[in-house]
Each structure stands twice: as C-alpha cells, then as structure tokens.
Structure 1
C-alpha cells in the first residue's frame, strides 16, 4: 500500500463512477438509444467519453455517427433512458459511507468535484439520502474550463481554503486524473470501466482497487508521523 506524500487536509470526490455506480448506466443508455435509432456505438467508443463534460461527450459521439443522426436527438433519448434506470438502479459504490463517516470523525473538509450539473448531483444525492452530507459541490457551471483542465479542482481547493498539494482527489477516469494532477493534488485513482495506462498511473499517488482500500490509505497517512 503506497503512502501519500503529505497528510491530507481535504478530500475531493469525483461523482460518476466514484461515488455512484452510474458509468455502466450511462453506457447502456447511450448504446441502447443508438440501437433504437439504427446505429451502433461500440463500447470502446463510449469509453472514450468517460470523465468528459456532456458537450465534449456529445461531440465525440457525433463524430462517430458521422452526422447521419442529430446528436441532440440521440442524447435526449439516452438521457431519458438513463433517468429511468437511475430511478431503480442507482447504487452507491461500496466504501462511500465509511469514508464520509471517517471524514466527519476526523473533521477533514470534503467536496464533490464533477462534470455533471448541479441538478443531476442533487437528484443523485437525494435518491440515496446523502444531500446533507455534501456541503460543498463544484459542478458544471462553477468553472469555465472542465476536466481535464485543472480549474475544477483548483476551484474546490480554493473554496475549502486548503493548499491544493494537501488535497486528495479521488477519481475513476483518466480525464479526472489529468485534471487533479495538473492542479497539483495527491490523486488516488479507483478505476471503474476504464483501466489506467502507464502514463495515467504515473500521475497518481496510488491506484486503489476500491474505496475501502482508499480509506485504509487515508487513515495510514493521517496517523503517520
């Protein structure tokens, strides 16, 4: 188990694929919506959109479709399918509650830093009764440049009044790792649908198999002299 270079003074969470097991739902919704309109979007193409803001994801999918189908029509149908799935299939990633309990106990600040918009974040948190446990949310609309640009994480560190180098970022996507590492954060990746390349691994302080392992790393570093 790799030790973080500094004692953490704040923990910043990505949302999709890190707090919530939503990436598989997004994937299935997009692929199914395309199939219903007579198009095939390979899983490999969808995986390239993970961690990107919706505008960038739509542009990438539009490039694959080649203009034969208005991307906004596809996106709307996929969004409708996703909302239907979320109503019955939204699940927390194992270990989220344990990390939140530990953060409260140690009185370390934390926040969500996501490419999703505030309405989506609020909807997801309400669905699992976590709204009151995330006081700080940095979402689409709070920054000019989205991940993989460092601005979202710099904005979060500023809001929490913590030096970025003393913040831990928890990310599941390559785009998120790039954003956090460029902002100078200690980045722990918990891969979801996409495994990190060697280049992405080199940007991480640690690549963890799950959030329970992340909590062990955080506890170990905070207790170390």
Structure 2
C-alpha cells in the first residue's frame, strides 16, 4: 500500500526556477574570458552536475588548469549580477503554493552552492524563515548521491516512503530514487524522458503535476 504524501521535495534549477540558461551563461562567460569557445553541446554535458564537477569536466575537456576558487568566484559574480532577473518556471510556483496551502511540508534541495541558492530564493520570493533548503554546501556529496534528499527528509521528520520529489534532471531523479523516494519527473524537454532512471513518473504540465501531488490549482495562485 502506498503511503500518503507528507512532504514534497523540490529541485530548484530547472524545476522551480527557469535558471538553467543563467547557469550556462556564467560558464560561457568564464570560458570566453579565457579565450575558449564553448560548443553547442556544453549544456547537455554539464546538466545536473555540481559546480565542482563542471569545473573538473571543463579542465579535462578544454585542457586547462583553472584554480577552482577563482573559477567559482568568477561564475558566482556573474550569476549574482543576473539573478534578480530570474523568473520561475511556468506553472511551478502555482503548484508550490498550492502544496503549501494544503498544509503539506516542503523543502528545496539543490546542487547549487548556498550563495546561489539564496539568490534564487530571493528572486522568486520564496525566502521564508521556516523553509528548509539544502544546498551542496550542506552535504558531503551532491546529487546523484542520495544524501541531499535524505538530509531534507530527516530535517522534515518524514520517512522516504512519505516523501515525493519533483525533478527536471536525471541526475536529481537518480538521487531521489537512491534515497528510496517517489519521483515526479518534469523535464523541460520531452526528448529527455529516455535518460531518466526507471521508476520515475513523468508529468508534462503543472496541471499533471498538481494532480499527481493531490492539490488543486486556483486562479488566485499566481506566478511571480
């Protein structure tokens, strides 16, 4: 018998926030500064990876040896300068607020650093003293390791069986499944469906997502 949902765990980038293009632009800016032209396949190659993993990938791919501290600071400066313009993913906040109105506990679980995650929360007006959020700084290993989702569930005082995760990336979906949680996969592009792990349930709109979470969308719940 499937247990009732007591908590919804949200990925941030690409799921709640339409921020993947911003993350990519920070990387392209750093590479361009060093005279490197990124290919069209760069986004697919780094999708879902942590900042440190992206750094290691670029050093290997482009044969460079950037200091990680300087690299991450350069990317962070660009990101923070652009973050106030960030928009929510279409329909995402309608579902988020509907879940909140239903009284279900929620947390946000990101592979971004605490600084970048907080910038995104500010931009989407999601900062709340009671909100539990997990950044890559809060765990020993980021997604696809299950630790970020396990930590969120522990802080919310729920079991994995009582938890459902909303993810747009295969990396995050693997982390949630490894944590023993149900997963709603909501990729931006339907073509990505074949890359998700077995067991993820696909939704294709905010209406399907709301139905899967057992909440009702109302006209009063508006996007930022």
Asked if these proteins are the same fold (TM beyond 0.5), I'd say: yes
Instruction: Give the structure 1 partner of residue 76 of structure 2.
Output: 79
Computed over aligned residues only, the root mean square deviation of the Cα atoms, in angstroms, reads 2.4
Q: Does 1:163 align with 2:159?
A: yes
Distance 1:202 1:219, change over 3 A: same
Given that residues 110 and 136 in structure 1 are in contact (C-alpha distance below 8 angstroms), is that contact kept between their aligned partners in structure 2? yes
Separation in 2, partners of 1:209, 1:134:
30
Q: Does 1:25 align with 2:22?
A: yes
Instruction: Give the structure 1 partner of residue 214 of structure 2.
Output: 219
Out of 106, 112, 115, the position equivalent to 1:110 is 106
Instruction: Give the structure 2 partner of residue 151 of structure 1.
Output: 147
Separation in 2, partners of 1:112, 1:134:
12
Given that residues 50 and 142 in structure 2 are in contact (C-alpha distance below 8 angstroms), is that contact kept between their aligned partners in structure 1? yes
Given that residues 111 and 156 in structure 1 are in contact (C-alpha distance below 8 angstroms), is that contact kept between their aligned partners in structure 2? yes
| Structure 2 portions without partners, runs of 5+ | 216-224
Q: Within 5 A, what are the aligned runs for 1:5-154?
A: 5-67=2-64, 70=66, 72=68, 75-88=72-85, 90-132=86-128, 135-154=131-150
TM-score computed with the length of structure 2 as normaliser:
0.84
Given that residues 178 and 203 in structure 1 are in contact (C-alpha distance below 8 angstroms), is that contact kept between their aligned partners in structure 2? no
| Structure 1 portions without partners, runs of 5+ | 221-225
TM-score computed with the length of structure 1 as normaliser:
0.84
Q: Secondary structure at 2:48's aligned position in 1?
A: coil
Separation in 2, partners of 1:11, 1:38:
43
Separation in 2, partners of 1:49, 1:194:
18
Separation in 2, partners of 1:104, 1:197:
28
Aligned residues: 214
Displacement of 1:75 in angstroms is 4.6
